[in-house]
Amino acid sequence: MALLPILVYPDPRLHTVARPVQAIDARIQTLVADMLETMYDANGIGLAATQVDVHERLIVIDVSEERNQPLVLINPEIVWASDDKQLGDEGCLSVPGIYDGVERSTAIRVRALDDKGQERTLEAQGLLAVCIQHEMDHLQGKVFVEYLSPLKRNRIKTKMLKARRETERA
């Protein structure tokens, strides 16, 4: 397993729309393992392949307290979302240190393949539903800050660019 570099907003690669995974082979199995290791190392609860510059429809999630219940969703598709919405603070490994309110459906049903290639349908609510919606946005080339006002988004972009310049100088 290996730690993968996480793209940081406003990297334009974060806006790439992911294509479907064609085969769940050794390459995908390795990618899943590397993404889980990367997510756990960064103290995240979700990671989309787009965030590690692999533009295929694959996300990993673990919202458990013990950090021992990884969920792998390959080619995920939301087949139902509740009309009930809730505003909640979200953060993102690609936008470190930034948290802001995003409105999401409180419950969803998602269909996907697992890491063994088995199709499954999952009902999710609460934090898991939010996390799945957030990570699926990444697969569409969308970062959560795009739900914010243009003013907030520009402030975040400026802050991220400044942090990158300071890191590069160090």
The 10s digit of each residue's pLDDT in 93-130 is: 999 999 999 999 999 999 999 999 999 999 999 999 99
Asked, for residue 85, whether it belongs to a domain, the answer is yes
What pLDDT score was predicted for residue 39? Answer: 98
Contact 151, 58 (CB under 8 A): no
Is 138 within the bounds of a domain? yes
- pLDDT mean over 48-59: 98
Q: What is the CATH number of the domain that holds 76?
A: 3.90.45.10
Q: Is 92 annotated as a binding residue?
A: yes
Would you say residue 7 lies in a domain? no
Q: Is 58 within the bounds of a domain?
A: yes
Q: Which domain holds residue 64?
A: 12-168
Query: 149 exposed, middle or buried (CB, 10 Å; 0-12, 13-18, 19+)?
Result: exposed
142 domain residue, yes or no: yes
Place of tokens 């402030």: 155
Torsion of CA 32, 112, 79, 148, to 10 degrees: 10
Report the domain count for the chain: 1
- Catalytic position from the list 37, 65, 119, 135: 135
Global confidence as pTM: 0.96
Mean pLDDT of the chain, nearest integer: 97
Q: Is 138 annotated as a binding residue?
A: yes
**135 is a catalytic site residue:** yes
